[in-house]
Chain A
């Protein structure tokens, strides 16, 4: 995927670009707002990563201008501010996701993947999601594996639904808190791990092939192949 990265901190920019290159992406790098805005409105990208504080034109303004041009490319904002109101402002301006520095590279990677799939129409409105022999019926809100029904609490259903919508992609703990619980906060304990292990006991227990995997240092993934 071709990505645009607008980041003024040369060290951080080089690091992210190198990491993204390692993940198989092509990265265009802009070190200031004007150059970035120029690239954003003239080139085609899969996802744009824009730092919020930039010399020249600031990040939010770039997002607004890009949207005003009618460009719907997914945008992820990076910010060192890390406050809730900043996030709200960023999303209001037209960004699709917001990531606070510092972040784990795996977190950025996972979010980019989700953004790209979303824009590529990866979220086909299938009523039934399938991963191997695991099925989730979004109309009846039921799950089953190999034909036998799995009893799920409402929150467990939403957790499984989010994981299955992003099957094959790494989903981080923060992403789960944001989308399944709808709160942005720092969990003190690994509350998510406990919920996942409960879900795992319902989904994988008694089956030869586990579907719900833990990705070390990153998060979780539901996938047919281990």
Chain B
């Protein structure tokens, strides 16, 4: 399956939306974890420092400076990694006790806290960052109690890393999941599409397979199959009715025509009624020709006419058609430009092919203006024989090119002309029977009709 097709698919887009929603909720969840862990830790540290300051201030008030210095030294010794920061300084900020060398030269924040960097001599002179709270004791002494923020930062980083990985993994998993999901959905839709195309190509017996899971796709397939059964039944009905009409109506029509013919023979030549009889015979002939053509198309389409398949010399056939119509064309003052560029041999029904060529040629001449030219060319394109018939007539508008192939379809302007409206339907039926494609194009002005024979060599 091509990537572009996959990206266009509805199921893929749907899963993309889900993926984004999912990633969003993972982000919110991790954000909450971050806030509740890192934030909690920071608040906890702050609370400890506050408590420590309160404690130390109490010790100072009770035991004086000596007591405070002792306690500070004791605490510094108990904490060899310098995770805590202590400094007692004189009113002029001269260090008296603690584990940093000098009072940090930073402004105190609005919340009464400071953040600063310090060099720890005991830890090999490394620079650490600390968060501390300065406090002024009675007598102007300055006390600073803080915590190294390394641990907090490490936790913070750990959680952020976990967050980033979590989101990335979620996205990757969701992407893979949606690809797999769309693929399997697309495969099933593609199977339905494939079946539809084959049915449109004429295989009316084809049905869409079901997986037996009775899911939505199976239900869709079952409904479509039921619809196809109905269509096939209707089409069979139409074919049947067409055959019956042709058979049942042709017999009485023949009798009618025969009686009219007898009447014509019996009536005196000078009788004024002879014209009515002659016109009635012509009408009956027209009706019979229409039934004949209808029956013929129905037979061809039902695949009934296949026994007289022989090797046909298409070039000779086209030349015969041109020669047969040469005199008619001359009378209409239309020139037939016959170009035989190749001599394809074709397995097919010679008479039906001739009929198809005649129908196209007859139309081309009929719609050509006086002094016009009809091109009749048999050539080759992509190793296929192509018969091209082009005129300078009014042509067929793009939107009507499909419709003219329908039975009894007649364009408004041709309604006044004689004809059954079946000529092009017959051409289309003959083309289908010979595995040929019938195409209409614009000759600017005029119509180009092309028959592409795939089976010719």
Contacts and interface: CB of A to CB of B under 8 A. Distances in A.
A83 B292 CA distance: 10
A104 B327 CA distance: 26
B261 A15 contact: no
B328 A186 contact: no
Given A101-B250, A102-B254, A217-B278, A84 B261 contact: no
Contact of B327 (A11, A85, A89, A198): A198
A185 B253 contact: no
A104 B331 CA distance: 28
Contacts of B419: 188
Given A83-B299, A85-B305, A105 B262 contact: yes
Q: Which of A9, A85, A181 has the most CB of B within 10 A?
A: A85
A104 B261 contact: yes
Given A19-B262, A83-B296, A83-B304, A194 B254 contact: no
Contact of B325 (A9, A104, A191): A191
B67 to A, nearest CB: 126
Interface string A80-96: 10111100110000000
Given A155-B323, A191-B328, A185 B358 contact: yes
Interface string B206-236: 0000000000000000000000000000000
A105 B289 CA distance: 16
Interface in B301-340: 304-308, 320, 323-325, 327-328, 331
Contacts of A89: 307
B251 interface: yes
Given A155-B323, A217-B264, A194 B351 contact: no
Contacts of A198: 327
A102 B257 contact: yes
Interface in A102-133: 102-106
B308 A84 contact: yes
A141 interface: no
B352 to A, nearest CB: 7
A14 B262 CA distance: 14
A82 B262 CA distance: 24
A25 interface: no
Interface string A8-37: 010110010001000000000000000000
B258 interface: yes
Interface string A153-185: 001000000000000000000000000010111
Interface residues of A, number: 32
Chain B, interface size category, equals 35 or more
A12 B325 CA distance: 36
Interface in B380-435: 419, 423
B358 A187 contact: yes
Interface string A39-81: 0000000000000000000000000000000000000000010
Nearest to A16: B258
Nearest to A101: B254
Given A88-B307, A186-B355, A191 B350 contact: no
Contact of B255 (A12, A155, A181, A184): A12
Interface in B350-367: 350-352, 354-355, 358-359, 362, 366
A12 B257 CA distance: 12
A191 B328 CA distance: 6
B410 to A, nearest CB: 14
B288 A183 contact: no
A80 B299 CA distance: 13
A84 B305 contact: yes
Interface of A: 9, 11-12, 15, 19, 80, 82-85, 88-89, 101-106, 155, 181, 183-189, 191, 194-195, 198, 217
Q: Kindly list the 10 A-B residue pairs having the minimum CB-CB distance in the complex, ordered from nearest.
A: A102-B254, A85-B307, A194-B327, A185-B355, A188-B362, A85-B308, A183-B354, A184-B351, A84-B351, A88-B308
5 contacts: A15-B258, A102-B250, A188-B423, A191-B325, A217-B264
Given A104-B261, A185-B354, A188-B359, 15 more contacts: A11-B255, A80-B250, A85-B305, A85-B308, A88-B307, A89-B307, A101-B251, A104-B257, A105-B261, A183-B351, A185-B351, A189-B366, A191-B328, A194-B327, A198-B327
